[in-house]
Every structure is written in C-alpha cells, then in structure tokens.
Amino acid sequence: MLHELRFRCPNLCPSVVPTGFADAESGVGLLGLCSDAAERRALAMCLQRARKQTSSTCAITNQAVADESALRFVTQWELQPESGVFQLKHCAFVCADAALLIDMPAMLERFTRRDADTKELSRLALLFSETNASEGEEQRSALEARLWLQECLTLASACQVLASSMPGWRASGPTGEPLKRGGIVAVAEAMLGVSADPSPPAQTPNSASSGKSRKARQREAAAAATAESAEPKSKAKKKRVQE
C-alpha cells in the first residue's frame, strides 16, 4: 500500500507517520523528537531564521504567496516497515493549500462534512492532481480529481492505521543516520540550508533585565581575565627595571 501511495503521490503526499509525529499534532512533528524545552526553543528559532531566508513561494507547488509569513513548515517522512524506521525525507515551507493536503485527517474530515464545499474540494483536488502529475499526463476533470484525491487519502489512512499499530518505530535522518534527541536542530538547519545562530536565545520582557546583567557579568569576567593574564608580565617587567 505504501508503494502504491508513493507511486500516486510522488511530490505532494498525504502524511503517513506513527502516532505522535505528525505536524498537525504538535505544530511541528520534529518537536516530538526534541530532548527538552531548550532544544524545542532552539528548533523554533531555527525555523524563524529559515522562514526569513526563504522565498515567498511554496516549495512543493511553486505557488506564490503574499509573504513568507503565509508559509507553513512541514516535514515529509517515508515509512520503512521492514526495518521499523520512518525516515525524514524533506523539510520545507509550503503554502496553506499544500500543508492542508498533506494533513490527511483534516482532508478526510473536509470530505465527510455534511456541508462539504464541493467547489473548494475540487480546487484542492485539482492542485493535488496537477502537482503529482507525471509529464504528459492528461489533466483530470474536477470530479475525476476529487475521486482521485479521495482514493489517495483513503489509502494513506489505511497505511496510517497499520503504522500506528506497529510498536518500536525508530526515526532516522535523510541519510539514514538515527535521529537522536539533542541533534534535531542540526538536522533541520542542514535540510533547510540555514547556518547555526551564534546569538543567545531571545528573552522575554520579564527576563530582559537579567539578560543584561548576565552580559555585563560576562564582559566584566572577560576584562578580569585579561587583567590577570597581563599582571604577571607587568610585574616581571617592573622587577627587571629594579634590577
């Protein structure tokens, strides 16, 4: 079933990940792999830097957006049931439509609403079909695209149910290395092409005064260390002059 899903959706695929790691569950699926609050804050800062550096274009559909604030961060994973691994394949900033189409539960809910908006579903389905179309493939009608999207979502849902019933999944990075707690930020920076942030974490207004005093203490400590290292030399020089 996974093979069929990947064949149908090579570019924009409904998310199939073990329970707890979907972007929709915690805002960003990678947060579930962070070791503590400090690493989660560092990941959030990494994404903020990456968002500012990205162009105002969806990384999957190539649709232009008003500005980078309209983009959504998504992770795309590939399940490998034979080895019990789910591998991070892509991190990207995408438009709201692409993020919604990746969110399989949200899309299924839209299709099953009593007051389902057929026009809106057709628009999303046509985008889904166009993004995944192979070269030379004939464009689907709105009805055909909706049926195709429903089939893909149903297939993804079946895969999700099976994946969530299998215990012991292990996360791996894009080159197959284990995704270990404490190294998530470095993986995100590498995949998004952003450099490490040398500045200290942003502080809240309540902690601003303590941040300033800490910086002052650091400057005082550096000055003291410089003075201490220079003192023996000045004493030796004075001794030589006296001799």
Would you call 35 helix, strand, or coil by DSSP?
Answer: coil
Average pLDDT, stretch 140-165? 94
**Element spanning 164, H or E:** helix 142-165
Whether residues 65 and 13 fall in one domain:
yes
Cβ neighbour number for residue 165 with a 10 Å cutoff: 9
Residues 112 and 215 placed together within one structural domain of the fold: no
Residues 121 and 223 in one domain: no
Q: Is residue 165 part of a domain?
A: yes
Rounded Cα distance, 132 and 153, in Å = 14
* pLDDT for residue 240: 45
CB atoms within 10 A of CB 86: 21
Q: Is residue 205 in some structural domain?
A: no
Are residues 110 and 214 located together in one domain of the fold?
A: no
Q: Which amino acid is at 122?
A: S
Please report whether residue 197 resides in a domain.
no
137 plus 21 within the same structural domain = yes
Average pLDDT (176-205) is 73
Q: What is the edge-to-edge ordering of all strands in the sheet holding 170-172?
A: 72-80, 85-94, 170-172
List Cβ neighbours of 91 (8 Å cut-off, separation of 6 or more).
Answer: 30, 73, 74, 75, 76, 188, 191, 192
- Residue 108 in any domain: the answer is yes
Q: What is the pLDDT of residue 68?
A: 80
Q: What is the pLDDT of residues 203-224, one digit of tens each?
A: 444 434 444 444 444 454 444 4
Can you give the pLDDT at residue 7? 94
Whole-number pLDDT of residue 183? 86
Q: What is the pLDDT of residue 69?
A: 82
φ, ψ for residue 193 (rounded to 5)?
A: 75, 35
Q: Rg for the chain (alpha carbons), in Å?
A: 26
196: confidence class by pLDDT, cuts 50, 70, 90: low
Report the number of distinct structural domains present in the chain.
Answer: 2
Does residue 201 lie within any of the structural domains? no
Q: Is the CA virtual torsion 40, 41, 46, 50 positive or negative?
A: positive
Range of the domain at 165: 2-192
C-alpha to C-alpha distance for 154 and 158, rounded to whole angstroms? 6
Q: Do 152 and 44 fall into the same domain?
A: yes
Residues 164 and 218 occupy one common structural domain: no
CA distance 172 to 89: 9
